[in-house]
Structure 1
Amino acid sequence: MKVTGAARAMRGRTALVAAVLLALTSCGQEPAPAPSTAAPALPRPTGPRPVGVRVLELSDTSRPDPWGPARARELTVSLWYPARSVTAPAARYVTRRESELILRAHHVENVPADLLSRVRVHAGREARPAATTGHGLPLVVLSPGFSLPRTSLTALAEDLASRGYAAAAVDHAYEAVAMSRSDGRVIDCRACHDSPDGRRVATVRAADLSYVRQRLLALSRTDHRGMPRLDPARVAAVGHSIGGAAAFEAVGTDPGFAAGADLDGTLHSAGTTPVTKPFLMLGADRHGKPGADGSWERGWQRLSGWRRWYSVAGTDHVSFTDYGLLSERLGLASATARDASGALDVVRRLVAAFLDDRLRDAPGSGPDTVAGDDARIRRHDP
């Protein structure tokens, strides 16, 4: 199959993630510092509320899977939310089998197979949701980068939940290197071998995000003990890399989304219809600058509502995920940002400020305030 320009871009960014995983395991040719003997931990959430998480398996029987058409489209979702207490057992970052497959997919050898399964997180597994007021919690649906698991956005999701959001990260079947199902299947990244067109991936994922939005809202109306109550009028789509392109498509095509954000993702889109909902474009140091990616200029012109374009100095493509920070916390040479912890902190603060401003109408706490107080953040108005 012919490799498209979009596929090349996805491959390039997948290779960058592979470089980070290699740094995580100190398998490069250059000697790395001795890693910490303690299990690495994600940064603590910055909000005041304890966090719970539960995993849901969804199947959209109205659509055959584009990569495996013999089955309906399958999605695995981790939903983080404010919890009543922190007494629930700690959740797992990934399973041992998922850790093994993630490392194998990136050709990492001579390391413990359970390396990534030992990452410590802060959410309690299936903790009882905290009581909600009003119409319920605002919901943020998260889509990861191509080949990356939904768990690569855990630090962002936990932080949003601690601030009073429900955050649902989605594994898209055959688009992540390891997606577990309760029947024992572990679905691999079949699409990774097909060199898919980026527009097709973004369109398929946008439909996934819409389906997840609808199903979670329906479940929140019926499963009062296990699910937090969600506000159907306050739902955002946020994605990293190709997930950001999917968020752009979802916000432009599904009126159920009130806002959206793209975290350093090329905007694979064939559409021309104006996107009227608020949208945040947040890019890495190089990719996020005007002129670096023509799709951002085209996307910017389609945004007819509230819009912001920022880039963050000292960051690269994986600064928006957990992997750069984990490399830093293991004490290993990092292929990502100069200050991975600081980079992820900026991303979390900016995304939260955007959502507070657009979904909660919280005066004085918007992204312009955050950007004005941090010299690493550049605002662009092409």
Structure 2
Amino acid sequence: MRQILAVAVGLAVLTASACSAPAPPRSAAGPSATPTGPATLPAPTGAHPVGTTALYLKDLSRPDPWNLDADARELKVTLWYPTKQRDGQRAPYMTPKESELTLKGLRVTDVPYDTLSKTRTNAVKDAEPAGRKLPLVVLSPGFTQPMSTLTSLAEDLASRGYIVAGIDHTYESYATTLPGGRVAECLACDSDADPGFGTGVVQGRAADVSFVLDQLPSKWDGSDLIDRSRIAMVGHSIGGASAVAAMVKDSRVRAGIDMDGTTYARIPKSGLSRPFMFMGSPPHTPGGRDNSWDRDWKLLTGWKRWIVLSGAEHQSFTDSPLMAGALGIKTPSGVLPAARAAELTHTYVAAFLDQHLKSQRQPILDKPSSRYPEVKFCPATCGQS
């Protein structure tokens, strides 16, 4: 059944699903506030300046699952990484055409269609990578969402000493720009009510991840910096569900995080022993509206955590709330403010990765913190105020 988003760019969600298809947002009838001008992503918190570049890869071994006229799977991969270069052109958040198609997909009509393309980022375009043997983090966005919606998380991780590879899963978002200026739109959006849709998506994305890991060593000039023994995957919504699928399929992915995504890939009865963290909004509390985490929790046999952020909505783990002012949308009462949601997401994702890819113990992963009272540890403190 087609799931429903209640607010443009996902400020509030009525269902906690890994693949949510937008319905008309509140702003469709008129903005609830005066747009504030271009959004600015929060400054990264790590010690390193950040560079970014894009790769375009073509998997000739398989046809595209959505475009029946394509005999190969094309992917755009955006890389973020530490650099020594502090000055230079900041990378665009998305192109004007990508912004237009995204806002049309979300049915936002009260601001110029190029609004999202004016978002200010922090990473220097095509800067030279710096460092030595750094862990790699693969990022996968939610359904209909371009990879750019996880840019602030990617920039923050790169500033902390990670190489980040964000995958645009072609034809599964409103817009992906491919070589030659071709724009791939959301062909998968026509199939999201089909039986087995979620299972098929996560299987396809797991294949995308394995292909990208195969290709990076030969296709990116900075690949010598990647420590291939330290790879993790983090995803939002169906991208988080795909982290489970990728770990089941590919042993190179040593740890994973699912941010608010209903899971579809079945974990073997023998269990999944690599580190994994569920990080979600209140519908993902044990016994809540989504019971997929209850099912999979029992099959996670290694280090594991299940945390829920009080006041979070489905898109709180993405850049979407940071765009609210630029789109003239007020954050609903009781929802985590955008800056706080970003801080919590960045802090706990980085803590997990630091512990499991850098062997740096992180006490905030062991118990509730007075500094972050919104974070509840399941099942012990879920639902407590």
TM-score by length of 2: 0.88
Other structure's SS at 2:52 match = strand
Distance in structure 1 (CA, Å) of the matches to 2:8 and 2:244: 22
Does residue 1:161 correspond to 2:143, yes or no? no
State how far apart, in whole Å, the 2-side matches of 1:340 and 1:328 are. 10
Instruction: Kindly indicate whether residue 251 of structure 2 is the aligned counterpart of residue 252 of structure 1.
Output: no
Pair 1:199–1:31, CA change in 2 (3 A): closer
1:27 counterpart SS class: helix
Matching residue of 2:53: 54
Contact 1:90 1:123 survives alignment (8 Å): yes
SS at match of 2:331: coil
Q: 2:292 aligns with which of 291, 295, 298?
A: 295
Q: Which of the residues 1, 4, 13 maps onto 1:12?
A: 4
Unpaired runs of at least 5, structure 2: 13-21, 381-385
Gap change, CA 1:259 and 1:215, over 3 Å in 2: same
The DSSP-based 3-state class of the residue aligned with 2:340 is: helix
CA distance in 2, matches of 1:18, 1:205: 22
2:307 paired with 1:310: yes
User: How far is the alpha carbon of 1:238 from its aligned partner?
Assistant: 0.8
Match of 1:280 among 277, 282, 293: 277
Counting matched residue pairs gives 363
Q: By how many angstroms is 1:54 displaced?
A: 0.2
Q: Which residue of 2 aligns with 1:90?
A: 90
Structure 2 equivalent of residue 78 of structure 1: 78
SS at match of 2:62: strand
Match of 1:379 among 358, 362, 377: 377
- Give the equivalent residue in structure 1 for 2:141: 144
In structure 2, the CA distance between the partners of 1:191 and 1:30, relative to structure 1 (3 Å rule), is closer
- State the alpha-carbon separation in 2 of the partners of residues 370 and 119 from structure 1: 34
Q: Partner of 1:141: helix, strand, or coil?
A: strand
> Hey, what does 2:18 align to over in structure 1?
none
> Gaps spanning 5+ residues in structure 1: where?
none
| Pairwise CA distance, 1:18 | 4.7
Superposed CA RMSD in Å reads 2.3
Mark the CA change 1:19 to 1:279 in structure 2 (over 3 Å): closer, same or farther: closer
Alignment of structure 1 residues 313-352 onto 2, 5 Å: 313-328=310-325, 332-335=329-332, 337-352=335-350
Distance, in Å, in 1 between the alignment partners of 2:213 and 2:370 is 33
Q: Which shifted more, 365-374 or 203-212?
A: 365-374
Q: How does 1:109-148 map to 2 (within 5 A)?
A: 109-132=109-132, 136-148=133-145
Tell me, in whole angstroms, the C-alpha distance in 2 between the residues paired with 1:343 and 1:70.
Answer: 41
What is the letter of the counterpart of residue 359 of structure 1? L
Q: 2:16 maps to which residue?
A: none
Change (3 A) 1:329 1:343: farther
TM superposition shift of 1:334: 2.3
Contact 1:354 1:366 in 2 (8 A): no
TM-score by length of 1: 0.89
Q: How many angstroms apart in 2 are the aligned matches of 1:86 and 1:306?
A: 37
